[in-house]
Structure 1
Amino acid sequence: MKKNLFLILLFVGTAPLLHAQLWEIGAGVGGCNYKGDVMPKFKPFVVGPGANAFVRMNYSRSVSLKVQGLIGQIHGNDDVMHDPFHDIRGFNFKANIMEASGQIEYNFMNFRTNASRIVNNWTPYVFAGGGYTMRTTEYHIKSIISTGTGVVTNGVISGSSNTQVNTWVLGIGFKKELSPHWNWGVEFGSRWINDDFLDGLGHYNNGTYNSGTLPASIDPLVLLNLKRQLPGTRAKDMYYYTNFSISYLFYKVHCPPTRR
């Protein structure tokens, strides 16, 4: 966390020292996806809402620095996987996320620059960075519950959890000039988090499975299926954000000094 905050402060703190600054402020809306224990495969159509706001500093014709805030929601359901083990487990969750990050962008084209004879009004770019994510997760599991008297009934176990974790960001984007002061863009970014409980299920860092949140009355067969290894379940959970944005560009026209 301290390293990520230092990175963000470094971007902002060195701004007055930079030559030929170009600043942008912008906002975007889009969708958030998830991959983890409940859905080991990326499902593009299982998406939750998201929104972001950012400040971008165009350090040079190739490099831009960005500070961004993101809020969104992700969700997952075992039923989506159409797999016998997932069907037996019957787990579903919903998580609200808040993210603050600092990112470095590399523009492939000479976008909005006077430093070259060839100037483009569009460019693809890649970006990477780090940040901090806070999440709150609510989960439900359809289970076979023993009442303690030999009677087995169907039931639903619910719970919630929350964490605050470091986040690493990597993605691609495209931006285009709308007018002298306005840009629009689209980007897709992956988020790797230092946590396996984004969905409420997962393994601790020592490799043990988290079953402490489940009541003792849960049937051993259900617990076995809950622990059963599925593809990718030992990997850290991930989430993704795809957005369309619009931004306003502040700039000055630097006139050459007059001759005397």
Structure 2
Amino acid sequence: MIICKLVVRKIFGLASLIVLQSSVFAQTWEIGAGAGVCQYKGDVMPTYKPLIIRPGANTFVRMNYSRSVSFKAQAMIGKVHGDDKLVKTDPLHQSREYSFDANLIEGGGQIEYNFLNFRTSASRIVNNWTPYVFGGYGITIIDTKSQSKTDVNPSVFSPYSSNKNEQYISLGIGFKKQWQRKGKWNWGVEFGARRVNTDFLDNFGYYSDGTYPLNLPAGIVPSDAKFQYLIKYQIPNTKVRDMYYYTNFSISYLFYKVHCPNPPR
């Protein structure tokens, strides 16, 4: 009986220690918000152009699970823009004159790996800043409005709109820092790329079987020779799926509770 009691006490003590150590991290939560800019890369602009920007804003909840790993759930709204006229080195883009604007509403989660011991009591060395990398997954609602040439008169354009829900995978880097040495506020900067699960963020692209749609106005017969230049304009530039990017500056507030293993004397 005595041996059983000792075993039970040891098991209970070990379990208490595990729970205590886990709670140091599990009760470290942040809520925050950020603002920044969004960019696009796809059929209309095949190369990344960091200066073609539209506004974006986000809000998030972060759980600092351990000294190295954090989990973040966030929502973001933003816009992206693409225009053939901005691709000045390609004659096809200049003659096609296709352009679009898209509204984005995304929600998703990501896992962050901190390179340094950021704001932790579980290490002798504690840093009030750290760079990090992250990967994530989510859903984006995309509302795209585009226009393209549709008539023998080159000044006439046809509008085309679409609304779709798409999945995305994100990868990126970031930096976060404690606002004051003993404060509960953090600030951070983050850059992330989102690869969308479709090629039609810009209303322009390939299907999974390698075909592409013809967005021609009513009455135009594709076999008519005088409209062949319009068919040429329907050919997408790349089979790579569209991407968008979000760069933001954020501020967050940290909730935490210090657990003392022994009561004060």
Question: Quick one: structure 1 residues 153 and 226, their matched pair in 2 at CA, closer, same or farther if it must change by over 3 Å?
Answer: closer
Question: Equivalent residue of 2:92, what SS?
Answer: helix
1:163 aligns with 164
Q: Give distance in 2, aligned partners of 1:228 and 1:129.
A: 32
1:36 aligns with 42
Q: Say if 2:59 is the partner of 1:53.
A: yes
Residue 258 of structure 1, CA deviation: 2.5
Indicate the structure (1 or 2) with the bigger Cα radius of gyration.
Answer: 2
Residue 216 of structure 1, CA deviation: 4.2
**Residue type matched to 1:257 in 2?**
N
Q: Give distance in 2, aligned partners of 1:200 and 1:215.
A: 18
Q: Report the number of matched residues.
A: 235
Deviation per residue, 1:3-27 (Å, 9 max, x gap): xxxxxxxxxxxxxxx6222000000
2:118 aligns with 111
Name whichever structure is richer in strand by fraction.
Answer: 1
Q: Say if 2:245 is the partner of 1:240.
A: yes
Identity %: 55
Q: Give 5+ residue unaligned stretches, structure 1.
A: 1-17, 147-151
Residue 65 of structure 1, CA deviation: 0.3
**Residue type matched to 2:138 in 1?**
G
Q: Say if 2:158 is the partner of 1:142.
A: no
Q: Give distance in 2, aligned partners of 1:93 and 1:131.
A: 23
Q: Give distance in 1, aligned partners of 2:100 and 2:122.
A: 50
Residue 248 of structure 1, CA deviation: 0.2
**Residue type matched to 1:86 in 2?**
H
Q: Give distance in 2, aligned partners of 1:154 and 1:163.
A: 29
2:174 aligns with 173
**How do residues 210-229 of structure 1 correspond to structure 2 at under 5 angstroms?**
210-212=213-215, 214-217=217-220, 220-228=227-235
Q: Give distance in 2, aligned partners of 1:63 and 1:124.
A: 12
Question: Quick one: structure 1 residues 259 and 172, their matched pair in 2 at CA, closer, same or farther if it must change by over 3 Å?
Answer: closer
Compare 219-228 and 178-187 and name the one that shifted more. Answer: 219-228
Q: Give distance in 1, aligned partners of 2:155 and 2:220.
A: 12
Q: TM-score, normalised by structure 1?
A: 0.86
Deviation per residue, 1:37-77 (Å, 9 max, x gap): 10000000001000000000000000000000000000010
Q: Give distance in 1, aligned partners of 2:56 and 2:198.
A: 21
**Residue type matched to 2:188 in 1?**
G
Q: Give distance in 2, aligned partners of 1:189 and 1:140.
A: 28
Q: Give distance in 1, aligned partners of 2:218 and 2:206.
A: 18
User: 1:97 aligned to 104, 111, 130, which one?
Assistant: 104
